[in-house]
Structure 1
Amino acid sequence: MTPGTAAASDRDLTASPQRAVLVEQVRLIYGVLGRSSWSTLALSLFVAWVLRQLGTPIAIWLVAQTLLKLSEQIEIRWFIRDEAITAHPERMVRRLMVTQSLHAAGWGALLWIAAAEAQPDQFIFVVMAIGGVLSGGITSYSPLPRVHLAYICTFIVVELVSFVALWLTAGSNPYFTYMPLLMIIYCLGTYSNTTVAGQTYQRTIELSFRNAELARSLEREVERARRAQAEADEANAAKSTFLASASHDLRQPIHALGLFLALLDRSRLDDVQRDTMNQALAALRASSEMLDALLDFSRAEAGVIVPQWQSFAIGPILRQIEEETGSTADDRQLFYRTRDSDLWVRSDPTLVKLILQNFVTNAIRYTVTGGLLVGCRRRGTVVRVEVWDTGIGIPKDHHEAIFADFLQLSNPERDRRKGLGLGLAIARRLADLIGARITLSSKPGQGSVFGLELPASVATPPLETQPQPAVVPAFKRSGDRVLILEDDEAVRQGLCALLADAGFDAVGCETIAEACAAARREAPDLAICDFRLRNGENGIEAARRLRALAGQELPVLLITGDTHPTRLAEAARADLTVLHKPVPADLLLKAIGNSMTVPLAEHAAAEDG
């Protein structure tokens, strides 16, 4: 059978369940016959040996039985193919009915042969042998009872002929004469058992087909789910790539603008100029906050945040959040109250602060009148920190949706003052990371209560530490050489101008090759490298090469506007100080100071020397 024919047959089986069941029934019968033929042949040999004094009749019978069994084996092993059964099951059923009828005729004739000259004990043995063969037919033909029906009909016909022949023969033993009729009755009983077993076989086969179809359906569903998951992963990766690229491209000019504004802010300005400067700085802060939200989101997506577990007092964090965001509430004429608390929790203080800060910021943005209250209370082993507001409230059917990425229920005009819709999504991810639970209770028009449940902890006294020597910030000293590697000309010029104004010897370079050449001419005291450079270069490779020239102790600041999870993870693994664009000037100078500071005594000794 050709592959095309086999495929067509498989389609036919799928289209016709009854035909598929018939094919399986025929396969089962051939499988049983292939194993039982040898046992019935052995029984034939044993019967012929017991009746050997009958001479020629029993010899002829044995030859016929042997030929039938051997031909059956040859047929099954070399001529019956699964493709033929699948393509023509009805034809194979008719073939089985013919061949098994011949076997039935052989065993039916044995009773007539034995009745002629066999001794009573031999005749009883023959009856027992035939009864065993008829009983075995239940097992052999149960998968397809109509094959057994053909076998039974043939056997009955032969037995009727035997009965008539024995009845007409003068002097026949009456027990021998009527034995064919008893065998007919027994034969009908075995067929009754075969039909019952056949129904069970058919139900089992049908059930196996249904199970197979269910398994195939499950495989299809799993495959569809796998493809859907792969598509979702690709879409998520594309989203992360887009956010990273967009964030990087936006951070570059904002970073440069912040540097120039910081430089301008250090100069002498009149009142009008100072007011304009403050407005520009406020706009810059708003843009920076939105980009920071993108950075927090990408960091959470990247999985580079590792919680730092410790016991700490929650009160100072709540007061710090009020100090940082209270002015925003004052500008909107909202009251902001934080209840004092002496409770302690065990978690990551930085991540807890970020989560609560998102709650507070969200409350301020969506509250028009009234204000917000922040407090905490203990319930058993849990401390629940709550942020209450009198804002617009959230419908109950949206309580879960508000934690989705970029979703803002009450900002269809996409007012930039209300952020990007990432604050609660970031809070949920960070809460999952530290094993905390976020709760929400809200009524539209009345306000909302966001809660964060943290494991309670006992107060831990602060460790006694030795006083540290004072340090001299780098920007208080002059002449330190800072190598700046930045491929964006505006950012490079802004950095050079800001650091020169702070008293540093700033050297700007566009490529790693230029930076290495500058380091060979004079070793820098610190290097500032952009992460993403041109021609596939990056700041991590630049830091490695600069340290190879200037020494492994060379402090390096890695500044990046890239928020892609892979890039963030790579930066987190590097032994570098990482700053994210746009970097405020005071934060940049502080980072430089922290990287270049030396103990005051050592610095004084160096100056005395």
Structure 2
Amino acid sequence: MSRAEPAIPDELISERAVRIEQVRLVYRAVGRAGWTMLFLSILVAAVLHDQGWPILVWLAVQVALKLATFAEMRWFFSEASIERNPEAMARRLILSQMPHAAGWASLLWLVAAHATPGEVPFVMVILAGAVSGGVTTYGALPRVHAAYIATFALVELMAFVYLRTAGVDDPYVLYAPLLSIVFGAGIFMNTRIAGESYRQSILLRFTNARLVRRLEQEVRSAEAADAAKSTFLAAASHDLRQPIHALGMFLALLEGSRLSAAQRETLGLAKSALRASSEMLDALLDFSRAEAGVIVPRPQVFPINAALRQIEEEIGITADEKKLFYRTRDCEALVEADPGLVKMILLNLVSNAIRYTTKGGVLIGCRRRGARIVVEVWDSGRGIPADQHEAIFSDFVQLGNPERDRRKGLGLGLAIARRLARRIGTEVTLTSTEGRGSVFRFDLPLASARPADTHTGPAREASDGDATTPSAHILVIEDDEIIRAGLGTLLRRTGYSVDTVETIAQGLASARKQAPDLAICDLRLRAGENGADAVRQLRAQIGRRVGALLITGETHPERIAEAAREDMEVLYKPTPPDRLLAAIARELAR
């Protein structure tokens, strides 16, 4: 029999749903038990063959009843019929099982009057087995077994009257039917207990199924919400990056102009505001890159002290502005890891420590632990409650920023640090005491050999003048008019020959007039065009590899992964002018 899972309503489990499952279980058990009872009937008839034609008639009736059961299960039964009317199917079960009970009970009636001394005990054992088997067969719906035993008892009572009337005076034979009745009544008590167990099991399974369904719905909702979050962040980040990217170039151009002291002060404030906006967008970018899985660790041997000192140079001034004590303990150890990722992890941990420390200071140091070195970031902040030690590594969680002060970031630093740490095979852990501060740790493998170049610490950006070719011709394909104008002006002022276009077709036309030494393309252009396609078409038209930079504001994990697969450097908006010029110099130097 095939078995469909019961429908689980959202409201309390109904009696009808329970009854459907009870009837279904009994029908399944009856179908399995039919073959056993058929073989038992044949065995009984073979043992009692000396009873002559009455036992043959009894066997024929038993075989007919079993065949009727098989026919019902094969052609006249369906799961749908139970679903439609479980009570009617329960009554049908009762009526169909009563003849089986009468058939077994009549066995004692047939043989008792002429049985040999050994046959009555044999028949009693068989009848006890038939009645006891009903506990498992009908246990899910005790009233079916009740009807079975009632029919059995009625026939046994008639057998007792018959034996008494026939003048049987052997008490072991005469009272055997009454003994069977008492045994059947006692067995039914077990059936009631089994019935309650079946009911509780059904209710528990229904409850579990409902919980699983709700959990699946919640997981789907969470996945949908997470996908929507990524899509929203990517769209918002892209739209914000465009004007901020253009603003950075215009501020760089403005910085080279003649300005009064007041104007330079205003320019400085504007650059600070731009830097704060860029830092938040960069946090979203780091988060998306970690989500996309495009960060591939490139381990190498380098002195950990180089990373610690570089972090101090970059953000130590932030601690000075807050009047915090900042100290780095020198460590001469060599480690084997990706220096860029180690720096990013440290940058997030140290920035977080400074951001949430109002007095005291921050200490960065290392400890040797066997074949590894543990990097530790100590702070004297307010500390983190024990029940929040895992929560703070979640996305957008900020325990110490209820007012959502954007100067305190977006709540992504620790989440990014943990993701990056796992990418290089380590884990960021936390020890914290409320009111006394926190310690964030991660370990790295020690290296025995010194690096070939002691300057292989975190990657150094090329300077604006590294391998610069002032006479180089650069083609810019950018669909945003403001960015196109700003980028063109910045590159011309730097000394490059520049042609700025809006579409791929215009770019190909420009390249036919003068082949570019470098192409700078926005990844996402209008009308579904793609900057990567533009570079491929340019290279095919010119017949050689043309240097290329892809600049994009895309931060959706899928788009980042797609861009990372291209044979060209990818820069993410907003790109500071000095970083853009350094990337141009690197590409031209190739």
Give the TM-score of the pair, scaled to structure 1.
Answer: 0.80
1:72 aligns with 2:65: yes
Q: Secondary structure at the match of 1:591?
A: helix
Distance 1:71 1:402 in 2: 73
Q: Deviations over 1:75-97 (max 9, x none)?
A: 43446855598515457546644
Change in Cα spacing, 1:105 to 1:354, as seen in structure 2 (3 Å) is closer
Counterpart position of 1:604: none
Q: Normalized per residue, which structure has more helix?
A: 1
Structure 1 residues 507 and 390, CA gap change in structure 2 (3 angstroms): same
The reply on whether 1:462 has 2:451 as its aligned counterpart is yes
Other-structure match for 1:596: 588
Task: Call closer, same or farther: CA 1:35–1:540 in 2, change over 3 Å.
Answer: same
Aligned residue number for residue 250 of structure 2: 260
Q: Kindly state the Cα deviation for residue 384 of structure 1 after the two structures are TM-superposed.
A: 2.6
Whole-angstrom CA distance in 2 between matches of 1:103 and 1:360: 85
How many residues end up aligned between the 2 structures?
555
| One-letter identity of the residue aligned with 1:551 | G
Cα distance, 1:304 vs. partner?
Answer: 1.8
Aligned runs of 1:240-259 on 2, under 5 Å?
240-259=230-249
Q: Return the alpha-carbon distance in structure 1 between the equivalents of residues 404 and 570 of structure 2.
A: 31
The answer to whether residue 531 in structure 2 is matched with residue 510 in structure 1 is: no
Superposition pairs for residues 478-497 of structure 1, below 5 Å?
478-497=470-489
Can you list the C-alpha shifts for 1:294-345, whole angstroms capped at 9, x where unaligned? 1111112222222223343211111011111123333334332212111233
Aligned to 1:147: 148
Counterpart residue identity of residue 567, structure 2: D
- Deviations along 1:380-433, one digit per CA (max 9) or x if unpaired, are 444232223344544555444433322333434433332222222222222233
- Measure the CA separation in 1 of the matches of 2:349 and 2:55: 96
Shift of 1:595: 0.7
Residues 117-142 of structure 1 show CA distances to partners (whole Å, capped at 9, x for unaligned) of xxxxxx52xx5445433322222232
What code does the residue aligned with 1:590 have?
A
1:528 lines up with 2:520 in the alignment: yes
Q: 1 CA distance for matches of 2:385 and 2:320?
A: 27
Which residue number in structure 1 is paired with residue 440 of structure 2?
A: 451
2-structure distance, mates of 1:17, 1:407: 45
User: What residue in structure 2 maps to residue 173 of structure 1?
Assistant: none
The superposition leaves residues 484-518 of structure 1 with CA deviations (integer Å, 9 ceiling, x where unpaired) of 01001111011111111122111111111111221
Higher deviation after alignment, 402-411 or 243-252: 402-411
User: Which residue of structure 1 lines up, in the alignment, with residue 142 of structure 2?
Assistant: none
Q: What is the aligned counterpart of 2:169 among 178, 192, 205?
A: 178
Tell me the equivalent position of 1:161. 162
Contact 1:138–1:190 (CA under 8 A) maintained in structure 2: yes
Q: Show the 5 A alignment for 1:213-224.
A: 213-224=203-214
Secondary structure of 1:437 counterpart: coil
Residue matched to 1:420: 410
How far apart are the structure 2 equivalents of 1:299 and 1:505? 33
> Is 1:430 aligned to residue 423 of structure 2?
no
Q: Which amino acid aligns with 1:433?
A: R
Give 1:104-503 correspondences, 5 Å limit: 104-105=105-106, 107-112=108-113, 114=114, 124=116, 128-129=118-119, 131-142=121-132, 143=134, 144=145, 147-148=148-149, 150-155=151-156, 157-166=158-167, 177-179=168-170, 181-190=171-180, 194-195=184-185, 197-443=187-433, 446=436, 448-463=437-452, 476-503=468-495
Equivalent position amino acid for 1:76 in 2? T
Conservation of the 8 A alpha-carbon contact between 2:41 and 2:59? no
Alpha-carbon distance in structure 2 between the residues aligned to 1:408 and 1:160 = 87
CA distance in 2, matches of 1:155, 1:442: 79
CA separation of 1:201/1:271 partners in 2, compared to 1, >3 Å: closer, same or farther? same
Letter in 1 for 2:417: A
Larger Rg: 1
CA–CA distance in 2 between the matches of 1:100 and 1:394? 72
Partner of 2:141: none
C-alpha distance in structure 1 between counterparts of 2:17 and 2:472, whole Å? 88
- The 2-side partners of 1:302 and 1:585 are apart by 26
TM-aligned CA deviation for residue 572 of structure 1: 1.1
Specify whether residues 136 and 146 from structure 1 end up closer, same or farther in structure 2 by C-alpha distance, changes over 3 A only: farther
Cα distance in structure 1, aligned partners of 2:95 and 2:35: 18
Structure 1: distance between partners of 2:95 and 2:473: 100
Q: Deviations over 1:558-577 (max 9, x none)?
A: 00111111111111111210
Match of 2:457 in 1: none
Deviation at residue 483 of structure 1 after TM alignment: 0.7
Counterpart Cα distance in 2 of 1:47 and 1:390: 94
Alpha-carbon distance, 1:578 to partner: 0.6
Indicate if the aligned counterparts of 2:19 and 2:87 stay in contact, CA closer than 8 A: no
Structure 1's 382 and 196: CA in aligned 2 closer, same or farther, altered over 3 A? Answer: farther
Secondary structure of the equivalent of 1:178?
Answer: coil
Match runs of 1:574-585 below 5 Å: 574-585=566-577
Structure 1 residues 354, 67: CA separation in 2 closer, same or farther (over 3 Å shift)? closer
Q: Could you tell me how far apart the structure 2 residues matched to 1:178 and 1:338 are?
A: 109
1-side partners of 2:329 and 2:256: how far apart?
A: 38
Shift in Å, 1:347 = 3.0
Name the SS of the counterpart of 1:517 in structure 2: helix
Mean Cα deviation higher: 156-165 or 378-387 = 156-165
Q: Tell me the amino acid that sits aligned with residue 335 of structure 1.
A: F
For 1:445 and 1:62, the matched residues in 2 are separated by: 92
Asked whether the 8 Å contact 1:475–1:589 carries over to 2, the reply is: no
Cα distance change, pair 477–63 in 1 and its aligned pair in 2 (3 A): closer
How far the C-alpha of 1:156 sits from its partner, in A, is 5.0
**Distance apart, 1:218 and its partner CA:** 2.0
SS in 1 for 2:399: coil
Shift in Å, 1:587:
1.2
Which residue of the other structure, out of 546, 550, 557, is the alignment partner of 2:538? 546
Which moves more between the two structures, 436-445 or 541-550? 436-445
Q: Which residue pairs with 2:555 in the alignment?
A: 563
**Could you tell me how far apart the structure 1 residues matched to 2:441 and 2:284 are?**
22
- Flag the 1:381–1:206 CA change in 2: closer, same or farther, 3 A: farther
RMSD: 3.6
User: Which residue identity is paired with 1:154?
Assistant: V
Change (3 A) 1:38 1:479: closer
**CA distances 1:335-383 after superposition (whole Å, capped 9, x unpaired):** 3221211123333322221121122222333334443222222234442
Partners of 1:485 and 1:515 within 8 A in 2? yes
Displacement of 1:270 after TM fit?
4.7
Conserved 8 A contact 2:431-2:438? yes
% identical aligned pairs: 42
What letter corresponds to residue 298 of structure 1 in structure 2?
S
Q: Deviations for 1:449-499, whole angstroms, at most 9, x for unmatched residues? A: 33222134134222279xxxx999687433321110100111101111111
**Residues 13, 206 of structure 2: 8 Å contact kept:** no
